Amino acid sequence: VRAAIRELDANGLASFSIRNLAASLGVYPTAVYWHIPNRNLVLAEVVARALEEVIPEKDPAWQDYIRELFLRYRVMIKKHPNLAPLIGAHLIGNSSISLSLVERLLFKLSSAGFTGENLVGAYNAVIAALVGFVTQEFAPIPKEDSREWQSRVKDRLLALDPQAYPVLGKNLPLLANKAFILRWQSGDQAPLDKSFDCYVDMVIGGLENLLPPRH
Amino acid sequence: VRAAIRELDANGLASFSIRNLAASLGVYPTAVYWHIPNRNLVLAEVVARALEEVIPEKDPAWQDYIRELFLRYRVMIKKHPNLAPLIGAHLIGNSSISLSLVERLLFKLSSAGFTGENLVGAYNAVIAALVGFVTQEFAPIPKEDSREWQSRVKDRLLALDPQAYPVLGKNLPLLANKAFILRWQSGDQAPLDKSFDCYVDMVIGGLENLLPPRH
DNA sequence: ACCTGAACACCGTTCAAGT
DNA sequence: ACCTGAACACCGTTCAAGT
């Protein structure tokens, strides 16, 4: 699993193969299959290990717990950006991810006042939000033809007709390479720090808004 | 592009190959390369085409516009669940996605009162939230060993120690296969309708909360 | 203009054989 | 217990050749 993480950090998910993993361990590809049943289970273990360090250690008010959880998740992905699509867009990890993460979050949300169906809704909303922003922020750019791809994105923005797209045109300097769909670099090159703070505020504010009225 | 969407709907992203695409068109694999430069550009066009139908047609208050946008995105992904990871976890689409989508959303957010850096923050928060939930809801399960994988997820939940995980244990019937990390089916089999509504409320409430005070 | 066909450098995985 | 080695059915992409 450690070797797999090294490989993923170095070469990305698209290039991760059992054959490369074996080579990095100085062993024949087929030897790996004595230790693990298949490629997906290697990735599941990688995801589980990475998420271990995301669980907050402190135990503050629920709002701060959630903020801390979001920040820690993003810090982890900054260290391992190539894991972003794996956690955010595949269910592979579900068989291995620690249930402590889940229990702790559920506990915090129920202490906030969510119960029953509301607890489920709030939990799902938090997990979705936790993973959603960062998955997209650190989504990989196409590997083979990255140069051409980057200039296609960039050029069509610079050549944009401000008559046809007035708000976009007016705010282009603020948006170019700093907003989703308008970026030609991923989060490791062009992080969206400010927007992420904004997003976390939105999530916490929205959750407070969702709380059933105290009686 | 139409043939590619058919292939993706039928067999998923993992199985999508230029060779299969060519076969479905009754042609040699290499013939495809006369029409498109590479596999990624096929996928970029697919993403762009799918997102066209997501733009709301009506022009209501910004809160309802955003709700409509979220609902339409989810309806589209319900029709093409295998596109979820492509849009949510890769930047491939950025070179082809229609800028009208962006302009319309920016216009609505600026009409709500967001300007400058706040506009960027709100825009990024909305796009992240829009794609985040649905990407995870419809994330594919491992293809080859789906049976074993499903029972691994299911069995460890059913065998869970309620002493060690009290909140999780107590709410297990509400959570099993209905909450992120605790699911063994994807959104096409086990949709998270209620949680999604909850999530949209959270996002809109959070955005209102984010608005700079009127003067 | 558009397709065939051979070729190259890759994959995950199985299975028999070694030590 | 753990690894080698051959093999199978796949990939994306290039390049020369056909019509």
Q: What is the pLDDT of residue B193?
A: 98
For residue B41, the distance in angstroms to the closest alpha carbon of chain A comes to 9
Q: What is the pLDDT of residue B212?
A: 81
State the Cα–Cα distance between residues A131 and B148, nearest whole angstrom: 26
Q: Check if residue B189 sits with its Cβ under 7 angstroms from strand D.
A: no
Given a cut of 90, whether residue A128 has pLDDT beyond it is yes
- What is the H or E stretch that residue B108 is in? helix B99-112
- pLDDT single digits (tens) A183-213: 999 999 999 999 999 999 999 999 999 998 8
State the Cα–Cα distance between residues A4 and A32, nearest whole angstrom: 11
Closest CB from B85, B99, B166 relative to A89: B85
State the Cα–Cα distance between residues B172 and B167, nearest whole angstrom: 8
The amino acid that residue B155 corresponds to is D
Q: What is the pLDDT of residue A212?
A: 81
Partners of B40 on chain A (C-beta within 8 Å) are: 142, 144-145, 149
The amino acid that residue A110 corresponds to is S
Closest CB from B128, B148, B202 relative to A133: B128
Closest CB from B91, B145, B182 relative to A140: B91
Q: Check if residue B171 sits with its Cβ under 7 angstroms from strand D.
A: no
- B40 contacts: CB under 8 Å, gap ≥ 6: A142, A144, A145, A149, B92
Q: Check if residue A35 sits with its Cβ under 7 angstroms from strand C.
A: no
Taking CB atoms and an 8 Å limit, are A129 and B129 in contact across chains?
yes
> For an interface test with A, which of B54, B124, B175, B209 has the most A Cβ atoms less than 10 Å from its Cβ?
B124
* pLDDT band with cut points at 50, 70 and 90 for residue A215: low
The amino acid that residue B175 corresponds to is L
Q: What is the pLDDT of residue B144?
A: 81
Given a cut of 90, whether residue A214 has pLDDT beyond it is no
Q: Name the residue closest to C11, CA to C1'.
A: A17
* pLDDT band with cut points at 50, 70 and 90 for residue A144: confident
Q: Provide mean pLDDT across the span A66-81.
A: 98
